[in-house]
Structure formats: C-alpha cells, structure tokens
Amino acid sequence: MTYPNTGVVKFTLEVKAVGTPRHPLSPRQKAIGRPGSADLAKRVKEVAFKTIDLKAEYGRIMASRGQPASAPGGNLTTWLHTVPPRAYLFIAARVVNKTDLDATVAFAHIASQVVDGAGLFCFGPTSETAPTTYRKVAVPPEVSIDRVLDRACQDLLELQREGVEEVAAEAEGPAAAAEEALGRVDHDQTG
C-alpha cells in the first residue's frame, strides 16, 4: 500500500505472510508444514528492489521539479534510510522450530537494512502432533511488529500533517515521451 493514493508517494507498506501447515495433497512435505523462513530470502529481495525503485523515482520526480535529489552514494543502506518515501515491511510468520525462528528473525534484520522498518509477528504450532494449534512466539524488540507498527503510524501522522502534493496532470518522464513519440509515428504512418 502507498500513501497518499494520489500525488507523490511518501509512504509504502508491504505485508508478507509466510509458512503454512502441511497441505493434504503434498505427500513429501513434513507433517509440521512449511517453515516460515523458507521463502523469506526471495521476499526480502523483492521488497529491496521495490524500495530502491520507489526511492529512486521519488528522487527523479524531485529533480524534474528542480529540487535537490539525493543519489545513492557509497552506502546504499544509509541512502535508503534517508530519502523518501518511508518504506515498511510487516511479516507474519508461522515458524516450525527454533532454527526456523532464528532464520526468520535474521531475515527481518536483513530487511531492516533496506526498509525503514521491518516488523515481525511469529506464531507456531504447539507441537508436531497439533500442527494447526498455535501459540505466539517472541521476537527481538527491534523487529517486534508492535514497535515497528507504532513507528509507521507516527510517520503517517507526520505525513498527514504535511499534506498531499499534487502531481502534474500530464505525466513527465521517459515513458510519457516514448508514448508521445509512438503516437507521432502512428499518426505519420496513417496520415
């Protein structure tokens, strides 16, 4: 999700849910189900690329308006944490054991390097014999979803006070120029 829904994006939030109970039609899957950390490497990479793209686009928009834009320097993490839009990732993970929990927490810490906050909520089966009866699993406070959610809410309140910037009615940039050029080519060929 992004805020605002019109104008220049100033806030993004992505939510991922990982880890599943064993599917009845998956005979090779363990009875406890799929670990929460199993797909997080791919999900964190997706979020990282999106965050980089959105922050670079914000810089391009500001530069097109004659405002100073911050280009990535030698430290990508510092750049990602200092330029808009604010970016958050929330992860709900069904973890199956301590190893899975540790890997999931490690991925949340990695995600924190590319987004402004990564919040994690973990839950797990009470036992291998009861794989769909759950208990909450504690995570470190710096990635705890309640703390990160509070930071995200504070950011949204501040952005709401700032107001929404309108974007030009006509799109600017390479895509708009390409569409305009294609329109001229089509007109020239049919005219």
Chain segment 66-125, per-residue pLDDT in tens: 887 666 666 788 888 888 899 999 999 999 999 999 999 999 999 999 999 999 999 999
Q: How many domains does the chain have?
A: 1
Please tell me the pTM assigned to this model.
0.79
CB 107 within 8 A of CB 41: yes
Tokens of 54: 């959105």
Could you list the residue range(s) of the whole structural domain that residue 32 is in? Answer: 2-190
Bond into 174 cis (ω within 30)? no
Structure confidence at residue 172 as a pLDDT band (50, 70, 90): low
Beta strands at 11-18 and 86-94: parallel, antiparallel or unpaired: parallel
pLDDT value at position 131?
Answer: 81
Crossing angle of the two packed helices 98-111 and 40-64, in degrees rounded to 10: 10
**List of long-range contacts for 165-169, beta carbons under 8 Å, 24+ apart:** 165/7, 165/8, 166/6, 166/7, 167/6, 167/7, 167/8, 167/61
